[in-house]
Structure 1
Amino acid sequence: CFSTRSLSSWHVACRRSSRTNECKLLIKQTPHTLDGRGTSPCQTRHLTGHASFTIDNIAEVIKHSDTSRVLVMAGAGISTASGIQDFRTPGSGLYYNLQKYHLPYPEAIFELDFFFTNPKPFFEYARELVPGKYAPDGAHFLPALLHRKDKLLRMYTQNIDSLERLAGIPDEKLVEAHGTFSTATCTICSARHTLEDIKKEIDEGTVPRCREHGCKGVIKPDIVFFGEALPDRFYMYAQDVSETQVLIVMGTSLEVMPFAGMADEVPSDVPRLLMNNDRVGSFGIRAKDVMQTGDIVASVEDLVARMGWDEDFKRLRAEWTLRTPDEGTKYC
């Protein structure tokens, strides 16, 4: 079974072998494509009996001078407003554009066996998503603003589009659970490379080759392919969930393990805010759960307004737009 998903998010699952206790990464089928845009403004929802804790309470907790450990989890839904195409939209999705490569199935471009046989389809994908073509949207600037305010404990993202970095979240505050395009590795000699080392080839639609000592091996961006382990940094979550004072979950279906499990591992008395198209995961069963459903950017702007940070938020976004963008950047 294969999932339909936005380009910017990997959907992998963890299955443990009873014989080896080894964690393997698998695709997990999801029932729909996650889309954070919504058709209506954000709405705050509570289950019966939980209405006493509201979005205003969340805002007050975050604003409080003693709060400095806000944990953010994000998925593909935070990048749809940036214009990143989805995977299978008829006539325009990535798979439609890759049909000329006669893929056996869409996800083959993310499998190592297929990559070693024919890396060309993957680098066609990479040319579409390589950092520099898209601009962060409002959802990316919320954790960046929390960082500016010394409130951000960490941001964990399923996305590989690097828009969190562009929004201003530093490396030490960001965990790209499913890898990154920012670095790359030779598949033969394991030489390390940066995005700048291979960006020209990717932009030209060619397969980047290693030049270390005449190696000529294919250089693979450091994103997680099926069957590969998640980055070691991901497992910092075990300590982060125990320390967080507020959890914010944005634009994710919470259906893919082990990423999704983080939301349930925060202590039961920690406020949890969901900003998503729909209610997902276990949200709604805890007394301090708040759900804002609908347009994610509208939900972000609503929270920022309730915290009285409107001008700071506008200033942060304005600072980004004043930078000289790479040619071809798509603005939302």
Structure 2
Amino acid sequence: GIPDFRTPGTGLYDNLQKYDLPEPTAVFELGFFRSNPRPFFQLARELRPERYRPTPAHLFMRLLHDKGALGRVFTQNIDSLERVAGIPADKVVAAHGNFDGAHCVECGAVCDDRVMSDGIEAGEPVRCEYCGGLCKPDIVFFGESLPPRFFRLMQTDFAECDLLIVMGTSLTVQPFASIVEAPHARTPRLLINRERCGERHRMGGERLRRLRQLGFNVTDGGFDFDEDTNYRDALFEGDCDEGVARLAAALGWGEELRGLVRAHGW
């Protein structure tokens, strides 16, 4: 599968030494990209969605959509595997962007999909046909603003959310990590993850204050798994694929999920 960014020994940040970067995060910094775009394009070749299959966790989200139970998928992933899994684009908010489009970083012109695809496949930078500036996929680099759609739908969707499922994240990157705090205080929340994260004792009051200033109806903090007062938070501490398999089985959807998994070559 696609490596994540922070897992010790296997994350992308641990595997970037071959690109001779000043620091691992530089590959996603706009200033470094402008001065030396080749490392990004070489890395992007390894991240192309066409090289990977959606996991059972992706396909569980597809099953939720098929059942009419999916409100929205908010994802930090840039691999577009939700689309490959068959989830409609309007149901997905790619908070950190993805490979589905590309623009010039200088003039903002749209870059032809085929031209960008060929450049990524070759690991070579792509130039704008209008101004000669560098083009990049619509992935949010450090220092760039998240898409306005993320903030707009975060305000409307979580006001109507009746169950929040969080999977496969460290909940360390803001503002995305604050999603767990966005639903109403009575909304059930389930974390399916290899490690615990986003717990209340790790949340700061300053974060809640900033969210309220942005207009979010935040009345609660992080997860309360071990608190005696916990009435809504549940944790499956383990692999996401195993977690969704157990959840699907409990819902009576186990065979349907296995069918989707088989159809995608697993």
TM-score w.r.t. the length of structure 1 is 0.67
Which of 73, 87, 90 aligns to 2:12? It is 87
1:225 maps to 2:141: yes
Q: Does the CA-based 8 Å contact 2:79-2:99 persist in structure 1?
A: yes
Q: Distance in 1 between matches of 2:4 and 2:132?
A: 29
Q: Which structure features the higher share of helix residues? A: 2
Deviation at 1:190, TM superposition (A): 1.8
In the other structure, the counterpart of 2:74 is 156
User: Relative contact order: is structure 1 or structure 2 higher (C-alpha 8 Å, sep ≥ 6)?
Assistant: 1
**Amino acid in structure 1 at the alignment position of 2:49:** P
In the other structure, the counterpart of 2:206 is none
Q: Distance in 2 between matches of 1:273 and 1:108?
A: 34
Deviation at 1:7, TM superposition (A): 5.2
Q: Does the CA-based 8 Å contact 2:41-2:119 persist in structure 1?
A: no
Query: How much is the aligned-residue C-alpha RMSD, in angstroms?
Result: 2.0
1:178 maps to 2:96: yes
Which of 157, 167, 171 aligns to 1:240? It is 157
1:268 maps to 2:212: no
In the other structure, the counterpart of 1:299 is 243
**Amino acid in structure 1 at the alignment position of 2:259:** R
In the other structure, the counterpart of 1:127 is 45
1:194–1:244 distance in 2 versus 1, CA, 3 Å: farther
Post-superposition Cα deviations, 1:117-140, rounded to whole Å, max 9, x if no partner, equal 111111111111022011111111
Post-superposition Cα deviations, 1:170-227, rounded to whole Å, max 9, x if no partner, equal 1110000011111000123321135433111211121112224xx3322111111111
Q: Does the CA-based 8 Å contact 1:34-1:252 persist in structure 2?
A: no
Q: Does the CA-based 8 Å contact 1:34-1:251 persist in structure 2?
A: no
Q: Distance in 2 between matches of 1:228 and 1:182?
A: 18
1:33 maps to 2:20: no
Deviation at 1:314, TM superposition (A): 2.0
**Amino acid in structure 1 at the alignment position of 2:19:** L
In the other structure, the counterpart of 1:249 is 166
1:161–1:232 distance in 2 versus 1, CA, 3 Å: same
Please state whether the residue corresponding to 2:263 is helix, strand or coil: helix
Q: Distance in 2 between matches of 1:205 and 1:279?
A: 37
**Amino acid in structure 1 at the alignment position of 2:124:** T
Please state whether the residue corresponding to 2:50 is helix, strand or coil: coil
Q: Distance in 1 between matches of 2:156 and 2:30?
A: 32
Q: Percent identity?
A: 44
Unaligned runs of at least 5 residues, structure 1: 1-5, 10-31, 36-84, 322-331
**Amino acid in structure 2 at the alignment position of 1:170:** P
Q: Distance in 2 between matches of 1:199 and 1:87?
A: 21
